[in-house]
Amino acid sequence: MYRAGVILSGCGNEDGTSIEEAIMTFLALDNLGVETLCLSLDKEQFEVFDHLAGRAMQMGQKRNILVESARLSPGRIKDIEDTAKDDFDLLILPGGKGVLKNLSTFMDEKIEFRVNSSVQNTIRQAYSDGKPIGATSTAIVVLAKALGSVSPNLKVSVAGQSQSVRAAIEKFGVSYSCEEEICIDRDNRVVTAPHLSEKSLNSMKDTIEVLVKKLVELVNR
Which residues, other chains included, contact 22 with Cβ-Cβ below 8 Å and sequence gap of 6+? 6, 8, 72, 94, 96
Q: Which residues pair with 193 in a beta bridge?
A: 136
Determine the Cα–Cα distance for residues 214 and 163; give it in Å rounded to an integer: 27
pTM exceeding the 0.85 threshold for the entire prediction: yes
pLDDT confidence of 173, banded at 50, 70, 90? low
Look up the CATH architecture of domain 3-218: 3-Layer(aba) Sandwich (3.40)
- Asked if residue 64 has pLDDT above 90, the reply is yes
Determine the Cα–Cα distance for residues 45 and 141; give it in Å rounded to an integer: 19
Determine the Cα–Cα distance for residues 143 and 169; give it in Å rounded to an integer: 9
- What angle separates helix 163-171 from helix 139-147, to the nearest 10 degrees? 20
In the chain, where the domains are located:
3-218
**Mean of the pLDDT values across residues 80-104?**
94
Interval 11-51: pLDDT, tens: 998 889 999 999 999 999 999 999 999 999 999 987 776 66
- Asked if residue 90 has pLDDT above 90, the reply is yes
Determine the Cα–Cα distance for residues 22 and 192; give it in Å rounded to an integer: 15
Determine the Cα–Cα distance for residues 115 and 108; give it in Å rounded to an integer: 12
Q: How many CB atoms lie within 10 A of CB 31?
A: 11
Determine the Cα–Cα distance for residues 57 and 117; give it in Å rounded to an integer: 27
**Mean of the pLDDT values across residues 125-150?**
93
- Asked if residue 174 has pLDDT above 90, the reply is no
Decide: 182 and 159 in contact? Cβ < 8 Å.
no
Determine the Cα–Cα distance for residues 12 and 15; give it in Å rounded to an integer: 6
